[in-house]
Protein backbone atom coordinates (compact mmCIF):
# COMPACT_ATOMS: atom_id res chain seq x y z
CA UNK A 1 0.00 0.00 0.00
CA UNK A 2 1.08 3.57 -0.67
CA UNK A 3 2.59 5.54 2.19
CA UNK A 4 0.65 8.79 2.56
CA UNK A 5 1.74 11.74 4.71
CA UNK A 6 -1.07 13.67 6.41
CA UNK A 7 -0.30 17.20 7.60
CA UNK A 8 -2.45 18.06 10.60
CA UNK A 9 -3.78 21.48 9.60
CA UNK A 10 -5.17 23.82 12.26
CA UNK A 11 -5.53 21.78 15.46
CA UNK A 12 -8.30 24.11 16.66
CA UNK A 13 -10.51 23.35 13.66
CA UNK A 14 -12.22 20.19 12.42
CA UNK A 15 -9.03 18.56 11.11
CA UNK A 16 -8.45 16.41 14.21
CA UNK A 17 -12.01 15.07 14.10
CA UNK A 18 -11.69 14.24 10.40
CA UNK A 19 -8.39 12.46 10.98
CA UNK A 20 -9.60 10.39 13.94
CA UNK A 21 -13.01 9.60 12.45
CA UNK A 22 -11.60 8.38 9.14
CA UNK A 23 -8.54 6.46 10.30
CA UNK A 24 -10.09 2.99 10.42
CA UNK A 25 -11.36 3.39 6.85
CA UNK A 26 -8.20 5.05 5.57
CA UNK A 27 -5.90 2.19 6.64
CA UNK A 28 -7.83 -0.10 4.31
CA UNK A 29 -6.51 1.76 1.23
CA UNK A 30 -3.13 3.19 2.29
CA UNK A 31 -0.58 3.47 5.08
CA UNK A 32 -1.10 6.95 6.59
CA UNK A 33 1.54 8.85 8.57
CA UNK A 34 0.10 11.70 10.64
CA UNK A 35 2.47 14.61 11.20
CA UNK A 36 1.43 15.49 14.73
CA UNK A 37 2.97 15.03 18.15
CA UNK A 38 1.61 12.39 20.48
CA UNK A 39 0.65 14.90 23.20
CA UNK A 40 -1.53 16.95 20.82
CA UNK A 41 -3.41 14.05 19.30
CA UNK A 42 -4.07 12.59 22.76
CA UNK A 43 -5.60 15.92 23.85
CA UNK A 44 -7.79 16.03 20.75
CA UNK A 45 -8.84 12.39 21.11
CA UNK A 46 -9.91 13.02 24.70
CA UNK A 47 -11.89 16.18 23.84
CA UNK A 48 -13.65 14.45 20.95
CA UNK A 49 -13.98 11.06 22.63
CA UNK A 50 -12.73 9.45 19.43
CA UNK A 51 -10.38 6.46 19.58
CA UNK A 52 -9.76 4.60 16.31
CA UNK A 53 -9.35 0.83 16.61
CA UNK A 54 -6.43 0.51 14.16
CA UNK A 55 -2.96 1.57 15.25
CA UNK A 56 -1.90 5.02 14.09
CA UNK A 57 1.48 6.09 12.73
CA UNK A 58 2.45 9.47 14.20
CA UNK A 59 5.40 11.49 12.91
CA UNK A 60 6.87 13.94 15.39
CA UNK A 61 9.01 16.60 13.70
CA UNK A 62 12.25 18.01 15.09
CA UNK A 63 15.14 20.17 13.89
CA UNK A 64 18.35 18.70 12.41
CA UNK A 65 20.88 19.73 9.78
CA UNK A 66 20.42 16.46 7.87
CA UNK A 67 16.98 14.89 7.26
CA UNK A 68 16.29 11.57 8.95
CA UNK A 69 13.12 9.46 9.24
CA UNK A 70 13.26 6.84 12.02
CA UNK A 71 10.99 4.75 14.22
CA UNK A 72 10.99 6.08 17.78
CA UNK A 73 8.64 4.08 20.02
CA UNK A 74 5.23 2.46 20.49
CA UNK A 75 2.89 4.08 22.98
CA UNK A 76 -0.77 3.20 23.61
CA UNK A 77 -2.26 2.60 20.17
CA UNK A 78 0.36 4.71 18.37
CA UNK A 79 3.55 3.89 16.49
CA UNK A 80 5.64 7.02 16.86
CA UNK A 81 8.24 8.05 14.29
CA UNK A 82 10.53 11.06 14.15
CA UNK A 83 11.34 13.14 11.09
CA UNK A 84 14.16 15.60 11.63
CA UNK A 85 14.87 18.31 9.07
CA UNK A 86 15.96 21.94 8.79
CA UNK A 87 12.70 23.44 10.01
CA UNK A 88 12.40 27.13 9.16
CA UNK A 89 10.85 28.01 12.56
CA UNK A 90 11.14 26.79 16.13
CA UNK A 91 8.96 23.72 16.74
CA UNK A 92 6.65 24.11 19.74
CA UNK A 93 4.07 21.44 20.51
CA UNK A 94 3.70 22.13 24.24
CA UNK A 95 0.50 24.17 24.12
CA UNK A 96 -3.17 23.67 24.92
CA UNK A 97 -5.81 23.27 22.25
CA UNK A 98 -7.99 26.35 21.84
CA UNK A 99 -11.02 24.96 19.98
CA UNK A 100 -12.75 27.20 17.46
CA UNK A 101 -10.37 30.12 18.04
CA UNK A 102 -7.67 31.91 16.07
CA UNK A 103 -4.35 31.15 17.69
CA UNK A 104 -0.80 31.96 16.61
CA UNK A 105 0.65 28.81 18.16
CA UNK A 106 -1.76 26.55 16.28
CA UNK A 107 -1.03 28.53 13.11
CA UNK A 108 2.70 27.98 13.49
CA UNK A 109 2.23 24.30 14.28
CA UNK A 110 -0.01 23.74 11.25
CA UNK A 111 2.65 25.32 9.03
CA UNK A 112 5.49 23.22 10.46
CA UNK A 113 3.43 20.02 10.24
CA UNK A 114 2.86 20.85 6.56
CA UNK A 115 6.50 21.83 5.93
CA UNK A 116 7.82 18.67 7.58
CA UNK A 117 5.30 16.45 5.81
CA UNK A 118 6.20 18.03 2.45
CA UNK A 119 9.93 17.38 2.80
CA UNK A 120 9.41 13.91 4.25
CA UNK A 121 7.11 13.00 1.36
CA UNK A 122 9.73 14.15 -1.12
CA UNK A 123 12.39 11.94 0.49
CA UNK A 124 10.59 8.92 1.93
CA UNK A 125 6.83 8.73 1.23
CA UNK A 126 4.52 8.46 -1.79
CA UNK A 127 2.10 11.41 -1.49
CA UNK A 128 0.85 14.14 0.82
CA UNK A 129 -2.69 14.95 1.95
CA UNK A 130 -3.18 18.25 3.78
CA UNK A 131 -5.90 19.02 6.30
CA UNK A 132 -7.31 22.58 6.38
CA UNK A 133 -5.30 25.52 7.67
CA UNK A 134 -6.44 29.00 8.63
CA UNK A 135 -4.58 31.67 6.63
CA UNK A 136 -5.14 34.24 9.38
CA UNK A 137 -3.37 32.11 11.97
CA UNK A 138 -0.44 31.70 9.58
CA UNK A 139 -0.31 35.48 9.35
CA UNK A 140 -0.52 35.77 13.15
CA UNK A 141 2.40 33.35 13.44
CA UNK A 142 4.52 35.39 11.00
CA UNK A 143 4.20 32.93 8.11
CA UNK A 144 4.55 34.85 4.85
CA UNK A 145 2.71 32.43 2.57
CA UNK A 146 -0.96 32.82 1.67
CA UNK A 147 -1.59 29.11 1.49
CA UNK A 148 -0.31 25.62 0.75
CA UNK A 149 0.28 26.09 -2.98
CA UNK A 150 2.31 29.27 -2.62
CA UNK A 151 4.45 27.62 0.06
CA UNK A 152 5.02 24.52 -2.08
CA UNK A 153 6.26 26.70 -4.95
CA UNK A 154 8.88 28.12 -2.62
CA UNK A 155 9.80 24.81 -0.94
CA UNK A 156 10.56 23.10 -4.25
CA UNK A 157 11.32 26.12 -6.47
CA UNK A 158 8.81 24.94 -9.07
CA UNK A 159 5.69 26.53 -10.50
CA UNK A 160 2.91 24.54 -8.86
CA UNK A 161 -0.47 24.31 -10.57
CA UNK A 162 -3.64 24.43 -8.46
CA UNK A 163 -6.43 22.09 -9.57
CA UNK A 164 -9.73 21.59 -7.76
CA UNK A 165 -12.71 19.32 -8.22
CA UNK A 166 -13.72 15.68 -8.30
CA UNK A 167 -14.16 12.94 -10.90
CA UNK A 168 -17.23 14.72 -12.29
CA UNK A 169 -15.36 18.01 -12.85
CA UNK A 170 -11.77 19.17 -12.41
CA UNK A 171 -10.70 22.77 -12.95
CA UNK A 172 -7.15 24.13 -13.05
CA UNK A 173 -6.46 27.76 -12.17
CA UNK A 174 -4.11 29.75 -14.39
CA UNK A 175 -4.07 32.53 -11.77
CA UNK A 176 -5.09 32.09 -8.14
CA UNK A 177 -5.01 34.57 -5.27
CA UNK A 178 -4.46 37.84 -7.13
CA UNK A 179 -6.68 40.87 -7.64
CA UNK A 180 -9.00 40.60 -10.63
CA UNK A 181 -7.54 43.78 -12.14
CA UNK A 182 -4.19 41.99 -12.46
CA UNK A 183 -5.42 38.89 -14.28
CA UNK A 184 -5.61 40.20 -17.85
CA UNK A 185 -1.97 41.27 -17.67
CA UNK A 186 -0.95 37.62 -17.15
CA UNK A 187 -2.82 36.25 -20.18
CA UNK A 188 -0.03 35.93 -22.75
CA UNK A 189 0.10 33.11 -25.28
CA UNK A 190 3.58 31.75 -24.56
CA UNK A 191 3.19 31.70 -20.78
CA UNK A 192 -0.31 30.23 -20.97
CA UNK A 193 0.83 27.56 -23.45
CA UNK A 194 3.57 26.44 -21.06
CA UNK A 195 0.98 26.23 -18.28
CA UNK A 196 -1.34 24.12 -20.45
CA UNK A 197 1.49 21.78 -21.43
CA UNK A 198 2.50 21.29 -17.79
CA UNK A 199 -1.10 20.68 -16.79
CA UNK A 200 -1.54 17.98 -19.41
CA UNK A 201 1.73 16.23 -18.55
CA UNK A 202 0.82 16.11 -14.86
CA UNK A 203 -2.66 14.67 -15.39
CA UNK A 204 -2.72 13.01 -18.83
CA UNK A 205 -6.30 14.25 -19.13
CA UNK A 206 -7.72 14.54 -22.63
CA UNK A 207 -10.44 16.68 -24.16
CA UNK A 208 -9.57 19.68 -21.97
CA UNK A 209 -11.46 22.96 -22.30
CA UNK A 210 -10.06 26.44 -21.64
CA UNK A 211 -12.55 29.00 -20.34
CA UNK A 212 -12.72 32.42 -21.96
CA UNK A 213 -11.95 35.59 -20.02
CA UNK A 214 -14.62 37.99 -21.30
CA UNK A 215 -18.42 37.45 -21.34
CA UNK A 216 -19.59 35.31 -24.27
CA UNK A 217 -15.91 34.63 -25.15
CA UNK A 218 -15.91 38.30 -26.30
CA UNK A 219 -18.52 37.73 -29.07
CA UNK A 220 -15.79 37.87 -31.73
CA UNK A 221 -14.22 40.97 -30.25
CA UNK A 222 -17.41 42.90 -29.48
CA UNK A 223 -16.73 42.69 -25.72
CA UNK A 224 -12.99 43.17 -25.41
CA UNK A 225 -11.39 40.14 -27.04
CA UNK A 226 -7.65 40.77 -26.72
CA UNK A 227 -7.46 38.05 -24.05
CA UNK A 228 -9.36 35.54 -26.18
CA UNK A 229 -6.88 36.09 -29.03
CA UNK A 230 -4.03 35.19 -26.65
CA UNK A 231 -5.95 32.21 -25.23
CA UNK A 232 -6.76 30.82 -28.67
CA UNK A 233 -3.15 31.15 -29.78
CA UNK A 234 -1.95 29.45 -26.59
CA UNK A 235 -4.32 26.54 -27.20
CA UNK A 236 -3.08 26.18 -30.78
CA UNK A 237 0.56 26.32 -29.66
CA UNK A 238 -0.11 23.71 -27.00
CA UNK A 239 -1.90 21.27 -29.30
CA UNK A 240 0.83 21.51 -31.94
CA UNK A 241 3.61 21.10 -29.39
CA UNK A 242 1.99 18.06 -27.78
CA UNK A 243 1.79 16.42 -31.20
CA UNK A 244 5.50 16.96 -31.83
CA UNK A 245 7.62 17.79 -28.79
CA UNK A 246 10.72 18.18 -30.95
CA UNK A 247 9.34 21.59 -31.90
CA UNK A 248 10.39 24.69 -30.00
CA UNK A 249 7.57 26.42 -28.15
CA UNK A 250 9.32 29.73 -28.76
CA UNK A 251 9.30 29.12 -32.53
CA UNK A 252 5.59 28.39 -32.35
CA UNK A 253 4.99 32.00 -31.34
CA UNK A 254 5.51 32.84 -35.03
CA UNK A 255 2.02 32.77 -36.58
CA UNK A 256 3.10 31.52 -40.02
CA UNK A 257 5.24 28.71 -38.56
CA UNK A 258 2.48 27.77 -36.12
CA UNK A 259 -0.17 27.59 -38.86
CA UNK A 260 2.12 25.53 -41.07
CA UNK A 261 2.81 22.99 -38.32
CA UNK A 262 -0.86 22.85 -37.39
CA UNK A 263 -1.71 21.80 -40.96
CA UNK A 264 1.12 19.25 -41.09
CA UNK A 265 -0.01 17.63 -37.84
CA UNK A 266 -3.78 17.90 -38.38
CA UNK A 267 -4.08 14.11 -38.67
CA UNK A 268 -3.38 13.81 -34.92
CA UNK A 269 -6.04 14.39 -32.25
CA UNK A 270 -5.98 17.59 -30.24
CA UNK A 271 -5.69 17.36 -26.45
CA UNK A 272 -7.31 20.78 -25.86
CA UNK A 273 -10.53 21.99 -27.46
CA UNK A 274 -9.56 24.45 -30.20
CA UNK A 275 -11.54 27.50 -29.05
CA UNK A 276 -12.01 29.14 -25.66
CA UNK A 277 -15.28 28.05 -24.06
CA UNK A 278 -18.01 30.50 -23.10
CA UNK A 279 -17.57 30.37 -19.33
CA UNK A 280 -21.17 30.93 -18.26
CA UNK A 281 -22.40 27.85 -20.14
CA UNK A 282 -19.42 25.52 -19.64
CA UNK A 283 -20.82 24.23 -16.34
CA UNK A 284 -24.25 23.13 -17.58
CA UNK A 285 -24.98 19.38 -17.41
CA UNK A 286 -24.87 19.13 -21.20
CA UNK A 287 -21.50 20.89 -21.46
CA UNK A 288 -19.98 18.84 -18.64
CA UNK A 289 -21.11 15.64 -20.34
CA UNK A 290 -18.83 16.68 -23.24
CA UNK A 291 -15.93 18.20 -21.31
CA UNK A 292 -15.23 17.78 -17.57
CA UNK A 293 -11.63 19.05 -17.45
CA UNK A 294 -11.37 22.83 -17.57
CA UNK A 295 -8.75 25.56 -17.22
CA UNK A 296 -9.84 28.92 -15.81
CA UNK A 297 -8.04 32.23 -16.15
CA UNK A 298 -8.96 33.27 -12.61
CA UNK A 299 -10.09 31.93 -9.27
CA UNK A 300 -13.80 32.65 -8.84
CA UNK A 301 -14.78 32.09 -12.46
CA UNK A 302 -14.22 28.37 -11.94
CA UNK A 303 -14.61 27.87 -8.21
CA UNK A 304 -18.03 29.50 -7.77
CA UNK A 305 -19.80 26.97 -10.05
CA UNK A 306 -17.58 24.08 -8.91
CA UNK A 307 -18.49 24.61 -5.27
CA UNK A 308 -22.15 25.11 -6.11
CA UNK A 309 -22.19 21.78 -7.91
CA UNK A 310 -19.76 19.55 -5.98
CA UNK A 311 -18.73 21.26 -2.74
CA UNK A 312 -18.85 18.19 -0.48
CA UNK A 313 -16.79 15.93 -2.72
CA UNK A 314 -14.30 18.37 -4.21
CA UNK A 315 -10.62 18.37 -3.35
CA UNK A 316 -7.56 20.54 -4.02
CA UNK A 317 -4.58 19.11 -5.93
CA UNK A 318 -1.13 20.64 -6.37
CA UNK A 319 0.45 19.62 -9.70
CA UNK A 320 3.79 20.17 -11.41
CA UNK A 321 5.83 19.44 -8.26
CA UNK A 322 8.29 16.73 -7.16
CA UNK A 323 5.59 15.47 -4.77
CA UNK A 324 1.93 14.62 -5.12
CA UNK A 325 -0.22 16.77 -2.84
CA UNK A 326 -3.98 16.71 -2.39
CA UNK A 327 -6.20 18.45 0.13
CA UNK A 328 -9.75 18.80 1.31
CA UNK A 329 -11.49 21.69 -0.41
CA UNK A 330 -13.00 23.23 2.70
CA UNK A 331 -11.82 25.28 5.65
CA UNK A 332 -11.30 24.77 9.36
CA UNK A 333 -15.04 25.14 10.17
CA UNK A 334 -14.48 26.58 13.64
CA UNK A 335 -18.25 26.68 14.13
CA UNK A 336 -18.27 22.86 14.21
CA UNK A 337 -14.91 22.19 15.83
CA UNK A 338 -14.87 19.88 18.90
CA UNK A 339 -18.67 19.82 19.13
CA UNK A 340 -18.99 16.21 17.95
CA UNK A 341 -21.29 17.32 15.15
CA UNK A 342 -21.70 15.27 12.01
CA UNK A 343 -19.00 16.38 9.57
CA UNK A 344 -18.90 15.46 5.90
CA UNK A 345 -15.82 13.27 5.43
CA UNK A 346 -16.21 12.79 1.69
CA UNK A 347 -13.69 15.42 0.62
CA UNK A 348 -10.96 13.97 2.87
CA UNK A 349 -11.43 10.40 1.65
CA UNK A 350 -11.60 11.65 -1.95
CA UNK A 351 -8.32 13.52 -1.40
CA UNK A 352 -6.68 10.34 -0.13
CA UNK A 353 -7.99 8.27 -3.05
CA UNK A 354 -6.78 10.80 -5.63
CA UNK A 355 -3.37 11.00 -3.93
CA UNK A 356 -3.06 7.21 -4.10
CA UNK A 357 -4.10 7.12 -7.77
CA UNK A 358 -1.66 9.87 -8.78
CA UNK A 359 1.11 8.08 -6.84
CA UNK A 360 0.43 4.94 -8.88
CA UNK A 361 0.55 6.93 -12.14
CA UNK A 362 3.83 8.53 -11.07
CA UNK A 363 5.27 5.12 -10.28
CA UNK A 364 4.30 3.78 -13.72
CA UNK A 365 5.88 6.79 -15.44
CA UNK A 366 9.27 6.34 -13.77
Q: Annotated binding residues, as ranges?
A: 148-149, 177, 216, 299, 307, 316, 325
3 state SS of 3: strand
- Report the binding-site residues for a divalent metal cation: 177, 216, 299
Write phi, then psi, for 61 (nearest 5 degrees).
-95, 150
- Report the binding-site residues for substrate: 148-149, 307, 316, 325
End-to-end CA distance of the chain: 18
Alpha helix stretches (DSSP H) within 6-147: 15-26, 38-48, 104-124, 135-140
- Whole-angstrom Cα distance, residue 30 to residue 366? 21
Using only C-alpha atoms, the chain has a radius of gyration, in whole angstroms, of: 22
Chain CA centroid to CA 228, Å: 27
Cα atoms found within 13 Å of the Cα of residue 71, Cβ hemisphere only: 7
Residue count of the chain, please give it.
366
Cβ contacts of 193 within 8 Å, gap of 6 or more:
233, 234, 235, 237, 238, 241, 249, 252
Amino acid sequence: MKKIAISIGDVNGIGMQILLACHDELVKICKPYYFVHYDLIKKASKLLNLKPKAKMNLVEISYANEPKFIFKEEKDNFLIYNFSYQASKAIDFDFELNPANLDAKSGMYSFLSFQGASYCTHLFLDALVTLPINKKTWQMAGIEYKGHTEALRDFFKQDAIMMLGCEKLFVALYTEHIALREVYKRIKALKLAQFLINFYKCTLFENIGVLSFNPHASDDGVIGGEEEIEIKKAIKMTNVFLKDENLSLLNLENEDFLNQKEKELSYKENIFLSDPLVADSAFTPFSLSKCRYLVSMYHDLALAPLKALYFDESINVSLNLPIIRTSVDHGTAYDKAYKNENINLQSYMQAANVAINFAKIKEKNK
